[in-house]
Chain A
Amino acid sequence: MMLRHNKVELALWELRAGSGRPLLVLHGLGERSDPGLVPGTDAWPGPVHGLDFTGHGASSVPPGAGYYCEILMGDVDQAIAHLGPVTVVGRGLGGYIALLIAGGRPDQVRGAIILDGPGMHGGGPSPTTPNLLRPEQTGATPDPVALVELAQDVRPPDYARTFAWQASALSGLDTAIAVAGVNRPPWLAEVASQPGVVETDLAGALELFASV
């Protein structure tokens, strides 16, 4: 089905039917929702949904671009408005967005799982040399400008930590975030060391949050 986020149409897919709290899968940079994108979600007891971020998959391409991660957090919030409380699992860029929405909607996100995937590092912990050059938008996805802009999005560790704190302090969960990948870019190394965050594997994280 299609959701609307301001002027952008977002594709929300039901990847597997079921009852109970949904698992919402967030793809990595340049990817799109696909039932096979995150092997291991079979273990989730409820329905599984996937969201295509702005400029990705079957979602629309915003003319003029201007992508940044907080906007993608807003994409996920549109899905939450439709689905109700969810557990989120994200790959790379989607993992960072999972962290943001866990801090932004701590009462609606019942656990966020961060996996390895494209776009995990973003633009690093502080700005590098500015670059205004952008490829042409064709309307096709993934939008090439999204690939450039979201690869430059700066992710200071203390900023990421704030979202982990909020998720921990305001969700009411003993564990709000599970880091289930190998890579530890600076933002994720910081998040992984915070209270309320566990390092585990996907199976362990799904089991943990299914029992919430």
Chain B
Amino acid sequence: MPDVETRTHPGARRPDRTRRVGSGGIGLAVHEWGDEDAPPVLLAHGGFDFAGTYDVFAPMLAERGYRVVSWDQRGHGDSDHAPLYQWEADIRDSLAVLQSVTDGALPVIGHSKGGSLMTQLAASMPHRVTAVVNIDGLPSKRSMPDVQDRDRTKLLARDLENWLDHRRRAADAERKPGTIEELARRRARMNPRLEQGWLEYLVTVGARRDDDGWRWKIDPSLRMGGFGPWRPEWSLYRLVELAVPFLAVLGTEQEEMGWGTTVDDIVPYLPPRGRAVQVEGVGHFVHIERPADVVEMVVEHLAPVVAT
């Protein structure tokens, strides 16, 4: 078998340039598409994804005259596995990437967790951001079953125990190996609306081939779910503070990785220059299901702040 197995996917293009940026001791893999002299935009991926999940969307946006800069978040893709993972640390990492592109401000785009990160970056550092596009990245309510307090205590206790057990094992944890097809099928559980061919392509980008099979590169100490004092509505409090043009892009179809947020949830918190658009018949990965439509919305949204 060859050392490196690659797959192709219609419209997918690996980054034109890849480099590394340090963020407080963590090395981040930064990926760029498009002319280096074109106006830059920053593109943040979602949790458990990696910059390569933009391999169709990013080059399509670059073709419209942008330098599209994305990065693998700490612990994801080809970036370093960190001892600790935390919301503000991810935002600081995004600032390090932004700083590697410009001393000034630029537009930011993010999907899911990346959208929420970019919205908070804009609220925390308003002088560094000229516009925000948030693709299904606005949690509005806790995805917690409506149960009695006593049952809730038991549910949380189980979550906590599982999490602590996971932390006890984290030092020795490894991702499960498999074939490209197996890893793609595993990923399909989180991405049920995406084609198997696309997911297999993603394996060849976001996984590495060991002697006993392919493994996702993501840090095995990272885990879905979790708990903490964080409240979904806190993101919305940041949203309403923004002064820059803001666009929320939502799908209508609820699925595993989505937050179930609707336009009605967002409207009360839209900032003065904000709007929310719902794309019919699409799930959480709007930019993967309808890349051309989302690129069109982004280009239109950025036109007032970027001269391409």
User: Is chain B a partner of chain A in the same complex?
Assistant: yes
Nearest neighbor of A159 in chain B, beta-carbon distance: B229
**Which of A54, A63, A103, A145 interacts with B26 by CB under 8 Å?**
A63
**Which of B91, B93, B153, B170 interacts with A162 by CB under 8 Å?**
B153
Instruction: Provide the bound-state CA to CA distance between A159 and B234, in Å.
Output: 15
Instruction: Provide the bound-state CA to CA distance between A74 and B161, in Å.
Output: 10
Contact check, A62 vs B231: say whether CB atoms are below 8 A apart.
no
**Which of B83, B88, B124, B228 interacts with A7 by CB under 8 Å?**
B83
Contact check, A132 vs B156: say whether CB atoms are below 8 A apart.
no
Contact check, B95 vs A132: say whether CB atoms are below 8 A apart.
yes
Instruction: Provide the bound-state CA to CA distance between A149 and B231, in Å.
Output: 18
| Distance in Å: Cβ of B124 to nearest Cβ of chain A | 4
**Which of A77, A132, A170 interacts with B125 by CB under 8 Å?**
A132
In the bound complex, residues from chain A placing their C-beta under 8 Å from that of B81 are 7
| Distance in Å: Cβ of B164 to nearest Cβ of chain A | 5
Contact check, A63 vs B161: say whether CB atoms are below 8 A apart.
no
Contact check, A106 vs B88: say whether CB atoms are below 8 A apart.
no
| Distance in Å: Cβ of B79 to nearest Cβ of chain A | 10
Contact check, A66 vs B89: say whether CB atoms are below 8 A apart.
yes
Contact check, B26 vs A64: say whether CB atoms are below 8 A apart.
yes
| Distance in Å: Cβ of A97 to nearest Cβ of chain B | 13
Nearest neighbor of A126 in chain B, beta-carbon distance: B234
Contact check, B153 vs A5: say whether CB atoms are below 8 A apart.
no
Within 8 A of A (CB), among B183-236: 221, 227-231, 234
**Which of A77, A137, A154 interacts with B164 by CB under 8 Å?**
A77
Q: Give 1 or 0 for each of A193-206: 1 = CB within 8 Å of chain B CB.
A: 00000000000000
Q: Which residues of B contact A (CB under 8 A)?
A: 23-26, 74, 80-86, 88-89, 91-93, 95, 120-121, 123-125, 149-150, 153, 156-157, 160-161, 163-164, 167-168, 170-171, 221, 227-231, 234, 237-238
New A-B contacts (8) at CB < 8 Å, excluding given A68-B86, A154-B229, A156-B231: A6-B170, A7-B83, A64-B84, A126-B234, A127-B234, A127-B237, A149-B88, A154-B230
Task: Name the 3 nearest CB pairs between A and B, nearest first.
Answer: A63-B25, A62-B83, A66-B89
Q: Which residues of A contact B (CB under 8 A)?
A: 4-8, 54, 62-68, 70-71, 73-74, 77-78, 81, 103-106, 126-127, 130-132, 134, 137, 145, 149, 152-156, 159, 162, 165-166, 169-170
